[in-house]
Amino acid sequence: MRILVIEDDDALRSSVSSSLRAAGFAVDAVGDLGPADEALFVSEYDCAVFDRMLPGGDSLDYVERKRSGGWTTPVLFLTALGTPGDRVTGLRRGGDDYLEKPFAMAEVVARIRSLCRRGRTGPPPLLRAGDLELDTGRHEVRRAGVLLSLTRTEFAVLRCLLENSGRPVSRGELITAGWDELTTPASNVLDVLLTGLRRKLLDPPLITTVPRVGYRIG
């Protein structure tokens, strides 16, 4: 699952991002609404975490405008504005959850995980290709009924392939799925990962290379 964190306090942004990565999320983090808008244009996120008062203005206005245009990504507001009126306004104008600062990092992680589950409307919980099955809810992969052990990045890359089953997926798409924006993978890291993933998926092979395009499953 991929999370966007928008927080202008460098230390807090780093702390929240680190906690989410430790919990298994891919995280992109920015400090203001302009970069947030660019990130949301380029990538799909399972949840967005907004500080209220940012250099570019109140993120509540931004979220409300996005909602009016049909944007449905779950939003958690993390803010020092914590009166009952602030919370009601935040929820009424586009927020899905509202947490007052200071907060426990474990609670932030739990609330984001809950929002990601609640807001998931895309791929089905079970993705299949032949006798391979990926359970997005349980975070499990089975081949012919046998449970396989994958790393978080292998799982994310395999999920991207299965969500696009039957069509070639570019290297860029797979790198975006498996690594967040703060990670710059070495030039051959995707090839190494796919070699290991193919080995773990056993025979007969399911992932094929499409020359000059990318990779395909199914």
Domain positions in the chain are 2-119, 126-217
**Residue labelled with tokens 């009016």:** 68
> How do residues 40-49 score in pLDDT, each as one tens digit?
887 889 999 9
In this structure, the strands spanning 140-143 and 132-135 are: antiparallel
Which pair of tokens denotes residue 82?
């914590």
CATH pick for 2-119 out of 3.40.50.2300, 3.30.70.380, 2.30.30.40, 2.60.200.20: 3.40.50.2300
| Residue 217: predicted pLDDT | 93
Check if the beta carbon of residue 66 is closer than 8 Å to that of residue 89: no
Neighbours of 214 (CB within 10 A): 18
Check if the beta carbon of residue 135 is closer than 8 Å to that of residue 145: no
| Residue 4: predicted pLDDT | 95
| Residue 112: predicted pLDDT | 94
Check if the beta carbon of residue 153 is closer than 8 Å to that of residue 178: yes
**Residue labelled with tokens 């790198």:** 175
| Residue 82: predicted pLDDT | 75
In this structure, the strands spanning 126-129 and 57-58 are: unpaired
User: What is the pTM assigned to this prediction?
Assistant: 0.59
| Residue 181: predicted pLDDT | 58
In this structure, the strands spanning 140-143 and 146-148 are: antiparallel
Spatial distance between the Cα atoms of 18 and 140, rounded to a whole number of angstroms: 24
Answer whether residue 158 shows pLDDT above 80: yes
| Residue 132: predicted pLDDT | 95
| Residue 3: predicted pLDDT | 94
* Bridge partners, residue 98, by sequence: 77
Alpha carbon of 89 to those of 4, 18, 93: distances in Å?
22, 29, 6
| Residue 218: predicted pLDDT | 76
CB contact burial 121-147 (16+ within 10 A = b; e otherwise): eeeeeebebeebbbebeeeebebeeee
Half-sphere exposure of 157 toward its Cβ, with a 13 Å CA cutoff? 27
More confident residue, 218 or 85: 85
Q: How confident is the model at residue 60 (pLDDT cuts 50, 70, 90)?
A: very high
Calculate the average pLDDT of the chain.
88
More confident residue, 133 or 121: 133
- Examine domains 2-119 and 126-217 and report if their fold is the same: no
> How do residues 159-188 score in pLDDT, each as one tens digit?
999 988 888 999 888 988 887 655 556 678
Q: How confident is the model at residue 50 (pLDDT cuts 50, 70, 90)?
A: very high
Answer whether residue 123 shows pLDDT above 60: no
Over residues 42-60, the mean pLDDT reads: 91
**Residue labelled with tokens 């983090």:** 29
> How do residues 130-156 score in pLDDT, each as one tens digit?
999 998 877 889 999 999 999 888 998
Answer whether residue 72 shows pLDDT above 80: yes
Domain 126-217: top CATH class: mainly alpha
Spatial distance between the Cα atoms of 141 and 152, rounded to a whole number of angstroms: 11
Answer whether residue 64 shows pLDDT above 80: yes
Check if the beta carbon of residue 10 is closer than 8 Å to that of residue 32: no
Check if the beta carbon of residue 169 is closer than 8 Å to that of residue 161: yes
**What is Dmax (Cα atoms) for the chain?**
59
Check if the beta carbon of residue 213 is closer than 8 Å to that of residue 164: no
